[in-house]
C-alpha cells in the first residue's frame, strides 16, 4: 500500500457506487482512513467491508447530504472514529435530462437541492472543522454540463455550473484558513448507472463526441480527486479540472482537414 495519505482522514460522499466507490478505494489503498458516506447505507457498508478486507481503514456513514443535521453528524462521526478531518470529496450528486420546454420546476429544485445545496452543506461543515484544525482540502464535483450546453440539461447545468462558481468563492474565502477548494468536471464515465442508461444511439453519440473515443473509468477520475486532495496540489486552488478525454476541449471535428 502506498502511503501518500498515511494518517490522513478523508470523507467521500456518494461512496456507495461509481466514481465515489473508486475514490474511497484509492484513498484507503494510499493509507487514508476513509468515511464512506452515502444515502444508501447498505452500499456504504459494502464498500467499507471491501476496503477492510483489503487491509484498509474505513467506516460507513448513512447520510442525506441535503439535510444539515445529517451532514453535521457525518463530520462528528468522522472525528470520533478517526480524528480531525483532512479532506472531503463531495462526489454525491445526480443528473437528469429533459427538453427545456418540458423541464418541470420540481426537477430544477431537485437538481439544485442535491448538487448545489448538498455540496454547499458538506463543504461548509467540513471547512469549519478544517479551519479549526489548521487546514485541509475540499474537492467538489461539477460536470462537463457545467461548461457546455448539451441538450436537455437546463436543470442539471444550472446546478453543475453553480458548483464551479461556488468552488471559486469557497477557495477565495477559505484560503486564509489553509483550506484549498477545487472541483472535477467528469465527462462520460463508465459507472454502473451510465452502463444501464447510456445505450444504443446515446452511447454511440458519446463515443463519437469524445476525442479519445471512449468512456472514462471511475479510477481515472479518482486519481485526479486524490491529486487535488494531496500535497502535490498544494498551490492549486479554485480550479475546475475536466476529466473527459478531451470532450470539452473539442469543437468541430472532421476526419479530413481538407473539408474545412
Ligand atoms: N458518471 C458520469 O458519467 C458523470 C459525468 C459527469 C459528472 N458526474 C458527477 O460525478 C459524481 C459521481 O457520479 P457517478 O456517476 O459515480 O454517480 P452515481 O449516480 O453512480 O452514484 C451517486 C452516489 O451518490 C449517492 N447519493 C445520491 N443522493 C445522495 C444524497 N442525497 N446523499 C448522499 N448520497 C447520495 C447514491 O446513493 C450513489 O451511491 C456526481 O456528482 C455526478 O453528477 C458523473
On the question of pLDDT at 189 being above 90, the answer is yes
Closest atom of ligand 1 to 144 CA is 6
Name the residue of 93, 110, 184, 248 to mutate for ligand 1: max ligand atoms within 8 A of Cβ.
Answer: 93
pLDDT digits (tens, 9 = 90+) for 65-111: 999 999 999 999 999 999 999 999 999 999 999 999 999 999 999 99
On the question of pLDDT at 1 being above 70, the answer is no
pTM: 0.98
In angstroms, what is the span from residue 135 Cα to ligand 1's centroid? 26
Q: In this structure, which residue's CA is closest to atom 24 in ligand 1?
A: 14
pLDDT at 260: 79
Question: How many Å apart are CA 148 and CA 140, to the nearest integer?
Answer: 18
Grid coordinates representing 120? 454547499
pLDDT digits (tens, 9 = 90+) for 132-152: 999 999 999 999 999 999 999
Q: How buried is residue 50: exposed, middle or buried, by Cβ count under 10 Å (0-12/13-18/19+)?
A: middle
On the question of pLDDT at 256 being above 90, the answer is no
What are the backbone dihedrals phi and psi of residue 257, each rounded to the nearest 5 degrees, phi first?
-65, -20
Residue 156 catalytic?
yes
pLDDT digits (tens, 9 = 90+) for 23-66: 999 999 999 999 999 999 999 999 999 999 999 999 999 999 99
* Torsion from C-alpha of 225, 228, 229, 233, nearest 10 degrees: 160
Among the options 27, 82, 141, 156, which is catalytic?
Answer: 156
Instruction: Return the DSSP state at 216.
Output: B
- Residue 19 Cβ < 6 Å to ligand 1: yes
- Residue 157 Cβ < 6 Å to ligand 1: no
pLDDT at 244: 98
Domains in the chain, start-ordered, CATH in brackets? Answer: 9-242 (3.40.50.720)
Amino acid at each position: 500500500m502506498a502511503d501518500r495519505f498515511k494518517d490522513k482522514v478523508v470523507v467521500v460522499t456518494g461512496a456507495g457506487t461509481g466514481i465515489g466507490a473508486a475514490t474511497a478505494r484509492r484513498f484507503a489503498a494510499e493509507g487514508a482512513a476513509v468515511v464512506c458516506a452515502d444515502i444508501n447505507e447498505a452500499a456504504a457498508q459494502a464498500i467499507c467491508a471491501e476496503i477492510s478486507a483489503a487491509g484498509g481503514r474505513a467506516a460507513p456513514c448513512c447520510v442525506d447530504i441535503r439535510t444539515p443535521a445529517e451532514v453535521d453528524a457525518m463530520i462528528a462521526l468522522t472525528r470520533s472514529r478517526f480524528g480531525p478531518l483532512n479532506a472531503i470529496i463531495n462526489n454525491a450528486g445526480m443528473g437528469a435530462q429533459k427538453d427545456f420546454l418540458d423541464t418541470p420546476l420540481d426537477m430544477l429544485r431537485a437538481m439544485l437541492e442535491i448538487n448545489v445545496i448538498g455540496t454547499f452543506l458538506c463543504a461548509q461543515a467540513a471547512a469549519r472543522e478544517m479551519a479549526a484544525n489548521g487546514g485541509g482540502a475540499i474537492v467538489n464535483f461539477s460536470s462537463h454540463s457545467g461548461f457546455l450546453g448539451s441538450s436537455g440539461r437546463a436543470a442539471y447545468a444550472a446546478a453543475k455550473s453553480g458548483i464551479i462558481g461556488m468552488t471559486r468563492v469557497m477557495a477565495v474565502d477559505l484560503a486564509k484558513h489553509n483550506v484549498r477548494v477545487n472541483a472535477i468536471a467528469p465527462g462520460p464515465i463508465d459507472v454502473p448507472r451510465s452502463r444501464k442508461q447510456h445505450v444504443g444511439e446515446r452511447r454511440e453519440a458519446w463515443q463519437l463526441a469524445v476525442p479519445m473515443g471512449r468512456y472514462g473509468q471511475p479510477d481515472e477520475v479518482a486519481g485526479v480527486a486524490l491529486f487535488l486532495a494531496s500535497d502535490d496540489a498544494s498551490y492549486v486552488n479554485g480550479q475546475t479540472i475536466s476529466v473527459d478525454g478531451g470532450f470539452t476541449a473539442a469543437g468541430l471535428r472532421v476526419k479530413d482537414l481538407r473539408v474545412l
